[in-house]
Structure 1
Amino acid sequence: MSKITEEIEKLVSPIVDDLQLELVDIEFVKEGRDWFLRVYIDTPEGNIDIDQCAQVSEKLSEELDRTDPISQNYFLEVSSPGAERPLKKEEDFQQAIGQYVFIKTYEAIDGMKEFEGYLLAYGPDALEVEVRIKTRKITVIIDKEKIALARLAIDFSA
């Protein structure tokens, strides 16, 4: 996490906690010539609505104006993480057990760096994903430190 996203997390966490929402992720990225501060929120049930996003956006905007932690111009976006929600925290992975996921690794495992399948287990050091390769299913064990990206995915084969 960058210094800016850490600062934003300190500002937005009390806001989402007060509204009984969940902070999913924070991004501060440059796209073209513009900078974007993106805050992804959800409800514990996974059904965030536009009014809740607007509430968080308004309150966070006030805090950002008050504290001014970002020197350059940027656009603030507060939204749902969507159907392909990122998996970053321990709780995210625990809640995703049994769900279809996409995992990208820093280095190849059995010649592959991308895995799509059902998350079978998540432990202190590794996770297990059931992956379909053509007509057969295999279980792949992925060390946590090798994970570059993890998110929920949509199973189009179902």
Structure 2
Amino acid sequence: MSKVTETIEQLALPIVEELGLEIVDIEYVKEGKNWFLRLYIDKDTGVDIEECGIVSERLSEKLDEIDPIPHNYYLEVSSPGAERPLKKAKDYEKAIGKNVHIKTYEPIDGEKVFEGTLTEFDGEFVTVEIRIKTRKKSVKIPYQKIASGRLAVSF
């Protein structure tokens, strides 16, 4: 996590927690000649545009006070969407029983991409049940070898 995203997390956390929300991800990226600060928020029942607006207004006020970013940027606050990223261990725990898409740093059973139902997470291994035609196969993926993961709408 960069210094900017760490600072933004410290500023945003009290705001989102007060509203019963959670921070899913924070991005600070340059696209073309513009910088974007993106805050993805969520809760179990999903977030609506009003909640995004409230967080955006409150965070914008804090950012204006502290001014941690020395140049112009666009602030975007939104839901992570249906294919929300799985970043932390708790995200994998909450995703048990759901469809996931996982990429690994190195091949496991000759594959680096796995899509299926997350059936188990014990802190060390993520178990995904994948379908191969009419068969089902469980794959244990070491948590430390996961490059990226997200919920998958369908597979």
Which residue matches 1:5? 5
Which residue matches 1:91? 90
Matches within 5 A, 1:4-153: 4-45=4-45, 47-153=46-152
Q: Name the CA distance, whole Å, in 2 between partners of 1:96 and 1:67.
A: 36
TM-score (norm 2): 0.95
1:129–1:140 Cα contact (<8 Å) kept: yes
2:86–2:149 Cα contact (<8 Å) kept: yes
The CA deviation at 1:32 is: 1.5
TM-score (norm 1): 0.94
Q: Name the CA distance, whole Å, in 1 between partners of 2:9 and 2:44.
A: 18
Q: Name the CA distance, whole Å, in 2 between partners of 1:112 and 1:33.
A: 37
For residue 93 of structure 2, give the secondary structure of its aligned residue in structure 1: helix
1:23–1:41 Cα contact (<8 Å) kept: yes
Instruction: State the identity as a percent.
Output: 61
> Unmatched 5+ residue regions in structure 1?
none
1:22–1:44 Cα contact (<8 Å) kept: no
> Unmatched 5+ residue regions in structure 2?
none
**Count of residues paired in the alignment:** 155
- Larger mean CA deviation between 91-100 and 126-135 belongs to 126-135
2:40–2:77 Cα contact (<8 Å) kept: yes
